[in-house]
Structure 1
Amino acid sequence: MDFRDVSLTALRVFRAVAEQGTFTAAAASLGYTQSAVSRQIAAIERAADAKLLDRRREGVRLTAAGHLVLRRAAVVLDEIDRTARELSGLPHESGAVRVGWLPSAGPVLLTRALAALRVSHPGITVTTREGSTPALVRALRTGSIDLALISSVPPFRPLDTESPPLVTHTLTERNLYLALPASHPLARGDYVDVADLRGQRWIAAPGAGEDRVMGVWPGLDERPDIAHTARDWLAKLHLVRAGCGLTTVPVALAGAAPEGVVVRPVRGGAQEQRRLLLARLPSPPQDATARVAEALRAAALETDLVP
């Protein structure tokens, strides 16, 4: 089989697998069956006459040949998508920018930037998608998004091991904060002592690994009492308001706290710093992408305030 005969469908499936990290997740994102995804990957590997993916228990990783094919596939698919947009009547000069964002960056920072862009650059079309930092880094590498709002925690290691490294700009670097009901005894002061967090009930994100305790103050010397789990930040904050428990919040979300919820710094123990990064591929960005990046940086300056 000649690689020139590879279909666009196979290229899209290959990019989705590389981005999602597993055949199952790629199938779900595309609306395909897992067997259909497997067939497309088998076809593209036959055409390349090379192994493009290493199958592992925890997922897949690109081989050297896989990285090469992915780079070329991203260029082809982006050109096809750009042509489709132009044919549908979108002005070429306006530009379309795809932004990936962490859930904590959406309620305040992202929405503020998008509102500003509607006034300053109404011709730019921005589409967005939510995801975790690892998923958004993969999406950048596969060319599925142009910019990503992602997080980094100490010791602030590189986002991935691929070369060349992604270009990052630190939007905010602040300590983690605590959200608690305004009626809670710990809400009376200007800060909360870490020792007073023992025995508290917590609202955390569901899932495995680090996500399992996201929302619980890091480093507590006890097994946390997780009363509720929720992925949505607004749901977490409303559970806090209802007196159901406490949860951690990045400073960017302080402005989204509903009435009846206060946000306080925590003192004592290690400082729990968090960076919010704006990341992109190392190639020079197009004008529209640069304008969106500027709007995100400006919004970060407005939201990076002590609650």
Structure 2
Amino acid sequence: MDFSDVSLVVLRVFREVAERGTFTSAAIALGYTQSAVSRQIASLERAAGAPLLERRREGVRLTAAGQIVLRNAAGVLDQVDATARELAGLPAAGGTVRLGWFPSAGAVVLPQAISALRRSHPSIAVTTREGSTPALVRALRAGSIDLALIASAPPFRPPDSESPALELETLAERSLRLAVPASHPLAAQDTVDVAELRGQRWIAAPASGEELLMGVWPGLDERPQVAHTVRDWLAKLHLVAAGAGLTTISASMASAVPPGVRVLTVRGGPEELRRTILARLPGRPSGPAALLADALRAAVPALG
């Protein structure tokens, strides 16, 4: 077998594995069995004559050969998809931009940017997808999205160690805040000391191998009591409003909290900052991607 025999199906499977980070996640996304995904990858590695993925306990990582195959596979698949859209009478790829975003960015930044772009350039089609920062970085590498809004916390390391390095632009740097029920004793003040957070009940996203326990104040000197595990930021805040516990939010989201929630500043301990970063692969972005990036830049300062 050589590359002239490689099918589009095999390339799509490879891109999905590279993006998802594990065979299991790729199989679920594609509706395949894990063994079927493994067979497709094995056939592609035979055609390449080299390992394309480094198997690790926590998932897979592209080898140098894998990065070459992925880069070229992404270009081939994009061209095929663009042809399909054009034949179906949909906007051509030149008028389409794909954006990934971390959950809280969808509350305020994303709607404002898309609304502004629709007014200024109505012919540009924007498609979006939500994901964790590690998942969005893999999607950029896989060519599944053009731009990504990702989050970063101190010490603000690069989001991955792959080559070439991603182009990163910090759109905002804001402090982390605390969301408490309006009926909570802490809600009587605007600022609380970190020591007052001992023994509190927390609402947080479930921890995983690639994400922190989001929602618990960082650096607590005790094992936190997580009463509710929730990924969706709006569900977290409604649980706060119901008196179910405390959670953390970015300062930029203070204007979007529901009634019954107070947003407080925490003093004591290291200052907790969070950055909103616009990420993309190196190189000149397409016209639609550049215009959407401009709209995102304009939307972030408007949040105060």
TM-score range, shorter chain: over 0.9
Q: Which amino acid aligns with 2:122?
A: P
SS at match of 2:231: coil
Partner Cα distance (1:171, 1:277) in 2: 6
Structure 1 position 93, deviation (Å): 8.1
SS at match of 1:203: strand
Whether the 8 Å CA contact 1:94–1:125 is kept in 2: the answer is: no
- 2:258 is equivalent to residue 238 of structure 1: no
1:185-209 Cα deviation digits (max 9, x unpaired): 2122222221211111111111335
Q: Which amino acid aligns with 1:259?
A: P
SS at match of 1:115: helix
SS at match of 2:274: strand
Structure 1 position 94, deviation (Å): 6.1
SS at match of 2:245: coil
Residue 122 (structure 1) aligns with? 122
1:220-231 matches, within 5 Å, as 220-231=220-231
Structure 1 position 212, deviation (Å): 5.8
Whether the 8 Å CA contact 2:94–2:287 is kept in 1: the answer is: no
Residue 198 (structure 2) aligns with? 198
Residue 18 (structure 1) aligns with? 18
Residue 112 (structure 2) aligns with? 112
Partner Cα distance (2:197, 2:254) in 1: 20
Partner Cα distance (1:227, 1:161) in 2: 35
Deviates more, 1:39-48 or 1:181-190: 181-190
Structure 1 position 112, deviation (Å): 1.6
Residue 177 (structure 2) aligns with? 177
Structure 1 position 265, deviation (Å): 1.4
Q: Give the direction of change, closer, same or farther, for the CA distance of 1:169–1:252 in structure 2 (3 Å limit).
A: same
Residue 89 (structure 1) aligns with? 89
Residue 47 (structure 2) aligns with? 47
Q: Give the direction of change, closer, same or farther, for the CA distance of 1:146–1:212 in structure 2 (3 Å limit).
A: closer
SS at match of 2:109: helix
Q: Which amino acid aligns with 2:31?
A: G
Whether the 8 Å CA contact 2:10–2:40 is kept in 1: the answer is: yes
Q: Give the direction of change, closer, same or farther, for the CA distance of 1:23–1:94 in structure 2 (3 Å limit).
A: closer
1:123-145 Cα deviation digits (max 9, x unpaired): 11111111111111111111110
Structure 1: tracts of 5 or more residues without a match: none
Residue 167 (structure 1) aligns with? 167
Partner Cα distance (1:47, 1:111) in 2: 44
Whether the 8 Å CA contact 2:165–2:282 is kept in 1: the answer is: yes
Residue 207 (structure 2) aligns with? 207
- After TM superposition, which residue ranges in structure 1, 4 or more long, deviate above 6 angstroms? none
With the length of structure 2 as denominator, give the TM-score of the two structures: 0.96
1:105-162 Cα deviation digits (max 9, x unpaired): 1111112211222212111111111111111111111111000010111111112112
Partner Cα distance (2:208, 2:26) in 1: 19
SS at match of 1:145: coil
Whether the 8 Å CA contact 1:104–1:252 is kept in 2: the answer is: no
Residue 264 (structure 1) aligns with? 264
Deviates more, 1:27-36 or 1:285-294: 27-36
Partner Cα distance (1:138, 1:196) in 2: 39
Residue 7 (structure 1) aligns with? 7
Deviates more, 1:78-87 or 1:136-145: 78-87
Partner Cα distance (2:91, 2:13) in 1: 28
SS at match of 1:176: strand
Residue 248 (structure 2) aligns with? 248
1:135-154 matches, within 5 Å, as 135-154=135-154
Partner Cα distance (2:246, 2:210) in 1: 18
Whether the 8 Å CA contact 1:205–1:211 is kept in 2: the answer is: no
SS at match of 1:11: helix
Deviates more, 1:253-262 or 1:68-77: 253-262
Residue 134 (structure 2) aligns with? 134
Whether the 8 Å CA contact 2:179–2:247 is kept in 1: the answer is: yes
Identical columns (%): 69
Structure 1 position 211, deviation (Å): 4.2
Partner Cα distance (2:100, 2:141) in 1: 12
Partner Cα distance (2:176, 2:297) in 1: 20
Partner Cα distance (1:131, 1:256) in 2: 20
1:272-305 Cα deviation digits (max 9, x unpaired): 11111010111100110011111111111112x2
Q: Which amino acid aligns with 1:181?
A: P
